[in-house]
């Protein structure tokens, strides 16, 4: 009897050890996303798949960065679009659907929904539900044996509040923040997009919470800036912004059946109570369902490639492949998609900033020289990335 008990304990310990070993594969990351349900930006729902599916990253947590104004029937944010397509809620359903599909339990929580009152606001009077996002980030950092990279798609509120509460923890345990936000515009030049010109920072994610954005820029943390907008706004390609157009959504029909069901559910704002069982309805796009969007506005793809340490390599006039940086050959023709160290020479109260390239700095900014080549490569590779995911 004792021998059997010892054997069972040994098996249990081995199983736990193997599980822990399996969990240690891949770069540790935390994803902060302003993913809603029903969607606000449908790209957020599509992009979230990568947090579950990529094998070269290990997602330790997902934090839903939600702004209360956009939960209402008609948004009432003080400076942003009065979006009439509500109501919507934090993307709890998309996260749970992906947990169901990939059979993975990634911790998730919702962050503060209101705007910071100042750059140093610790938001210590938050309801427990909204405080959970900040607590989850800090718990993950405290428990992690190695520094973590944080991907921020949305406002910088969760990170700014966590920094205000425990700056040393973030300095010690965050190796880099990948911040998808801001406008790269020399001389604060106003461009062709009147809407962008009229909002703080000239860009949506900054305007969501200006104090949060400027707090991070002044924090001294290791930050990689991926501006969503350039001189002419967020829907025009620029050497320092990440925007491009995904021109053919036909790849949806070549994705895994459950992921097709997930995307179809995300893109149709219907009330369905069986939101998990609905993931088993099959390959809806393969079976003839028309994609709800003919094209996609995308800002996130380059960030994931850089986090994964992979390069886009040109193989012919219209063909590309992904290659890990460590495996590149001298003859490989790399499509530029990189970070350049920079100095922030000015940070304005409205969230606009100025920069200049330098040799070494804790701050870097996204850069690509050939805008058309970059878009061609992403249009070739991104569909194939999503097609490759097999839960």
Question: What are the φ and ψ backbone dihedral angles of 292, each rounded to 5 degrees?
Answer: -70, -15
Q: Which domains, ranges and CATH numbers included, belong to the chain?
A: 26-387 (3.90.245.10)
User: How far is the C-alpha of 176 from the C-alpha of 159, rounded, in Å?
Assistant: 12
Q: What pLDDT does 344 receive? A: 97
Q: What pLDDT does 261 receive? A: 97
- Statement: residue 23 has pLDDT above 50: no
User: How far is the C-alpha of 299 from the C-alpha of 181, rounded, in Å?
Assistant: 10
Alpha helices in 276-315 (DSSP H): 301-307
- Statement: residue 6 has pLDDT above 80: no
Higher pLDDT, 19 or 215: 215
- Statement: residue 292 has pLDDT above 80: yes
Determine contact, residues 72/118, Cβ cutoff 8 Å. Answer: no
* Tokens linked to 155: 């406002």
Each residue's pLDDT tens digit, 334-385: 999 999 999 999 999 999 999 999 999 999 999 999 999 999 999 999 999 9
Q: What is the mean pLDDT of the chain?
A: 92
User: How far is the C-alpha of 145 from the C-alpha of 139, rounded, in Å?
Assistant: 12
Q: What percentage of the chain carries pLDDT values higher than 70?
A: 94
Higher pLDDT, 373 or 268: 373
- The span from the first CA to the last CA of the chain, in angstroms, equals 40
User: How far is the C-alpha of 383 from the C-alpha of 307, rounded, in Å?
Assistant: 18
Q: Range with the lowest mean pLDDT among 31-40, 190-199, 258-267?
A: 190-199
3-state class percentages of the chain: helix first, strand second, coil last, to nearest 5:
40, 20, 40
The one-character DSSP state at 116 is P
pTM: 0.93
- The confidence band for 24, taking pLDDT boundaries of 50, 70 and 90, is low
- What would the DSSP string read from start to end of 163-195? HHH-HHHHHHHEEEEEEE--B--GGG---S-HH
């Amino acid at each position: 009897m004792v021998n059997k008990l010892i054997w069972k304990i040994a098996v249990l310990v081995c199983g736990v050890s193997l599980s822990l070993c399996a969990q240690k594969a891949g770069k540790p990351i935390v994803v902060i996303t302003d993913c809603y349900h029903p969607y606000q930006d449908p790209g957020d729902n599509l992009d979230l798949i990568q947090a579950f599916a990529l094998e070269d990253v290990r997602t330790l947590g997902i934090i839903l960065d939600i702004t209360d104004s956009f939960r209402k029937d008609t948004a009432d944010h003080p400076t942003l679009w009065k979006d009439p397509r509500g109501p919507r809620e934090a993307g709890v359903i998309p996260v749970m659907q992906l947990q169901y599909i990939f059979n993975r339990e990634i911790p998730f929580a919702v962050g503060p929904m209101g705007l910071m009152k100042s750059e140093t606001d610790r938001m210590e009077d938050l309801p427990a539900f909204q405080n959970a996002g900040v607590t989850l980030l800090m718990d993950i950092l405290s428990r992690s044996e190695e520094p973590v990279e944080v991907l921020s798609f949305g406002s910088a509120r969760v990170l700014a509040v966590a920094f205000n509460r425990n700056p040393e923890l973030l300095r010690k345990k965050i190796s880099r923040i990948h911040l998808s936000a801001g406008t790269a515009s020399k001389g604060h030049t106003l461009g062709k997009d009147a809407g962008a010109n009229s909002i703080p920072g000239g860009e949506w994610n900054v305007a969501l919470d200006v104090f949060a954005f400027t707090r991070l820029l002044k924090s001294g943390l290791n930050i990689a800036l991926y501006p969503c907008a350039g001189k002419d706004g967020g829907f025009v390609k620029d050497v320092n912004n990440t925007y491009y157009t995904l021109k053919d959504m036909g790849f949806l029909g070549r994705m895994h059946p459950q992921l097709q069901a997930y995307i179809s559910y995300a893109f149709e704002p219907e009330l369905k109570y069986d939101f998990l069982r609905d993931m088993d309805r099959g390959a809806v796009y393969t079976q003839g369902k028309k994609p709800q969007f003919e094209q996609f506005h995308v800002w996130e793809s380059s960030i994931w490639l850089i986090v994964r340490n992979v390069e886009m390599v040109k193989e012919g006039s219209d063909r590309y492949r992904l290659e890990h940086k460590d495996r590149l050959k001298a003859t490989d023709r790399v499509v530029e998609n990189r970070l350049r160290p920079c100095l922030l020479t000015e940070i304005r109260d409205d969230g606009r900033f100025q920069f200049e390239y330098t040799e070494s700095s804790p701050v870097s900014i996204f850069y690509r020289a050939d805008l058309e080549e970059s878009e061609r490569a992403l249009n070739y590779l991104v569909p194939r990335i999503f097609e490759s995911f097999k839960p």
